[in-house]
Amino acid sequence: MKLKTRLAIAFITITLVPILLIYMVVMGLSSYQAKAFSKAYGLTETIDLFSGNSVQAFNRLTQRYQEKLIETISSDSGNFDDIDYLNEMNELLEQYYAYLVVRKGEEIIYAGDGDNTAEEDVLSSLPPYGSAEGMEEGGLYLDGDSQHLIKQVDFLYPDGTEGSAFLVSRVDDFLPEVKMMFQEMLISGILILIVAGMAMAMWIYRSIIHPLGKLKEATKKIRDGNLDFSLEVEDEDEIGQLCQDFEEMRIRLKESTEEKVQYDKESKELISNISHDLKTPITAIKGYVEGILDGVASSPEKLDKYIRTIYNKANDMDRLIDELTFYSKIDTNKIPYTFSKINVAQYFKDCVEEVGLDLEAQGIELGYFNYVDDDVCVIADAEQLKRVVNNIISNSVKYFDKKKGIINIRIKDVGDFIEVGIEDNGRGIAARDLPNIFDRFYRTDASRNSQKGGSGIGLSIVRKIIEDHNGRIWATSKEGMGTEIHFVLRKYQEVIQDEQNTDNRR
């Protein structure tokens, strides 16, 4: 869920939902209290309590006692001279938030407002005798400093004196039931707002604050150099996408750090190997030069041998430096290529003749077997392809463990590709080491390799060149019997290309 959608839901939840719930609670409580009020006071119809100080409510409350007063008058009006009867009637009225006032002639003989004297403005505003006509269903509403509902019942005393009984209700205050209802509504509204706020806070915390906290914790770990953790992504909103991007950044940063550590390790190993491999020929050159200077090479034959040895050692150093320079180009993907169409049979024949002289001088037998047609060609860089062949053969020569070394080169036609196999009868490679021989600086036997010399990057250079030619390279080997390295290159198919060009022109 998108963050803007969450915010919209949050707005609706924090505004409309509480309003709707409060409205439902208000309607429910008012309906319940109205029914309870009518039942408690024996009313036959439902009163609208929601208006608070409704005149209707007080009118209905005193209606029954107004009728009772009329009955009393019709039966015996002399009861209005009986103080006990008036007190009894007043006590009943107090339960309904009203009190009794009795007037005889122009004199107020009874005012049942409890311990307080009846309000002067009420007593002075009581309607005159004869005003009760039409009050059977209602009363007179007085609007002064305080609002009162007055119901009047007129009668004649036994001695013929005019009299009036008044039921007075103060309607400017709330009924206790109404006060309680408002309190319940207020408490319910507050609880609804609190619950809605807590639910919204929990939701926001879970969907926004909590992920940001995890992101902050992850940032501190990276700041402290700890990349070995995982940032779990739960949602797919903007923050979830941020966490996902952060996790991808952490993974790449970890990979980059591991690559840097590995690169530093390989660089140190390369420096160590180069230092060792350069020191060996330099030491030999110094020894032979000192022999010449000291006159040890006394004969022309011996002098010539010393000079040839110095020359060979210098060539070894030159090859080593050239390999190191080429390695730096591999590391920056700046290997210079000059691709051209090469005839396979003629090219490998020339390579074999060139490398055969060196192998013959070392007492190694070289076999060449070509199984492709004379017109088969490939698109390749002749110089870099020669580097591939030389590196593979040099690696084979380096690890010969037999008196009679044999190297065979086979060129095969395999459909759209030509396959080159360079086989030796060396000591072979263990199965566990075979998948790694094309990795940089990988040595199957570090102790023996240090004696043989070499930078450990020869075969990795070979793989890089073949892959840049869109080819593939692999090795097979059996310990004690030898190793064969294969690589394939796609043929140059001129006829098909001409047809494609024709089709394109069409």
Record: fold of 338-497: Heat Shock Protein 90 (3.30.565)
Q: What is the pLDDT of residue 2?
A: 67
Q: What is the CATH number of domain 53-173?
A: 3.30.450
DSSP codes, 339-388 = -EEEEHHHHHHHHHHHHHHHHHHTTEEEEEEE-S-TT-EEEE-HHHHHHH
* Contact (Cβ atoms closer than 8 angstroms) between residue 433 and residue 486: no
Q: What is the pLDDT of residue 43?
A: 58
**Strand ranges (E), 105-192:** 107-111, 140-143, 147-156, 162-170
Sign, CA torsion 357/362/365/367: negative
Helices (H) and strands (E) in the chain, counts: 13, 12
Sign, CA torsion 411/412/414/416: positive
Q: What is the pLDDT of residue 376?
A: 93
d(CA 234, CA 436): 39
Q: Mean pLDDT check: name the lowest of 141-150, 216-225, 234-243.
A: 141-150
pLDDT band of 342, cuts 50, 70, 90: very high
CB atoms within 10 A of CB 451: 9
Of 341 and 185, the one with more pLDDT: 341
pLDDT tens digits for range 235-250: 677 777 788 888 888 8
Tokens (6 digits) for 288? 């032979």
pLDDT band of 488, cuts 50, 70, 90: very high
pLDDT band of 489, cuts 50, 70, 90: very high
State mean pLDDT over 86-101.
80
Q: What is the pLDDT of residue 23?
A: 82
- Edge-first strand order for the sheet with 140-143 is 107-111, 98-104, 162-170, 147-156, 140-143
CB atoms within 10 A of CB 355: 21
d(CA 256, CA 384): 30
* Contact (Cβ atoms closer than 8 angstroms) between residue 94 and residue 115: no
Q: Mean pLDDT check: name the lowest of 5-9, 16-20, 301-305, 474-478.
A: 5-9
* Contact (Cβ atoms closer than 8 angstroms) between residue 231 and residue 242: no
Of 375 and 333, the one with more pLDDT: 375
As assigned by CATH, the class of the 227-334 domain is mainly alpha
d(CA 387, CA 322): 11
In percent, how much of the chain has pLDDT > 70?
Answer: 76
State mean pLDDT over 458-470.
89
d(CA 303, CA 151): 149
State mean pLDDT over 164-184.
71
Of 195 and 499, the one with more pLDDT: 195
d(CA 104, CA 82): 13
d(CA 239, CA 236): 8
pLDDT band of 57, cuts 50, 70, 90: low
Do 53-173 and 227-334 have matching folds? no
* Contact (Cβ atoms closer than 8 angstroms) between residue 279 and residue 322: no
> How is residue 22 annotated by DSSP?
H
DSSP codes, 314-333 = HHHHHHHHHHHHHHHHHHTT
pLDDT tens digits for range 7-32: 777 777 777 888 888 888 878 877 77
Amino acid, single-letter form, for residue 245: D
pLDDT tens digits for range 432-455: 888 888 887 666 654 434 445 455
Q: What is the pLDDT of residue 447?
A: 42
pLDDT band of 413, cuts 50, 70, 90: very high
SS3 content of the chain, % helix, strand, coil (to 5): 55, 15, 25
pLDDT band of 499, cuts 50, 70, 90: very low
CB-count burial class (<10 Å; 0-12, 13-18, 19+) for 445: middle
Of 55 and 337, the one with more pLDDT: 337
The closest alpha carbon to 420, from 342, 357, 480, belongs to 342
Distances (CA, A) of 95 to 302, 357, 433: 142, 131, 104
* Contact (Cβ atoms closer than 8 angstroms) between residue 488 and residue 414: yes
Q: Average pLDDT of the chain?
A: 78
d(CA 204, CA 50): 37
> How is residue 80 annotated by DSSP?
G
Q: What is the pLDDT of residue 171?
A: 66
CB-count burial class (<10 Å; 0-12, 13-18, 19+) for 135: middle
Per-residue pLDDT at 85 exceeds 90: no
Q: Mean pLDDT check: name the lowest of 200-214, 278-292, 491-505.
A: 491-505
Predicted TM-score of the model (pTM): 0.48
State mean pLDDT over 199-218.
79
Domain spans in the chain, listed from the N-terminal domain onward: 3-41+180-214, 53-173, 227-334, 338-497
Tokens (6 digits) for 46? 């439902």
d(CA 213, CA 219): 10
Can you say whether residue 368 is alpha, beta or left, with left for phi > 0 and alpha for psi between -120 and 50 degrees? beta
